[in-house]
Amino acid sequence: MLLLATPNQLDHPRLGLIVSRKACARAVGRNRIKRTTRESFRLHQAQLGNGDIIAMARPKRRRPSLAQLRASLDAAWPQLAQKLRHRYTQQTIAAP
């Protein structure tokens, strides 16, 4: 799963999901990935601050289990929150 983020001017984070057929051939699997990602985002959105986040499922030969996906997302949200705060402070300093 690839996570991309940029600060936004809203007071809450937003999540966009991209799960292609190459990442998971069956709709049931794609929906499970989306559901798991949304739930993890919901549990961590208070610490994310304001940002637009895109979660993109990458095609791989071995698909991680949903428990592994949840664990990797749980580890990734705090790192992403730190990067968002850093980018936001850089944009605030650079603004005229």
Mean pLDDT of all residues belonging to the chain: 84
Q: What pLDDT, in 10s, does the model give residues 17-54?
A: 999 998 888 999 889 999 999 999 999 988 888 888 99
Rounded distance between C-alpha atoms, residue 41 and residue 21, angstroms: 22
CA 61 to chain centre: 21
Pick the residue with more confidence: 6 or 90?
Answer: 6
Write down the pTM of the prediction.
0.80
The structural domains of the chain, ordered by start, are 2-94 (3.30.230.10)
Strands, sheet with 14-19, edge to edge from the N-terminal-most edge strand:
2-7, 51-57, 14-19
Left, alpha or beta for 12 (phi > 0: left; psi -120 to 50: alpha)?
beta
More confident residue, 40 or 5: 40
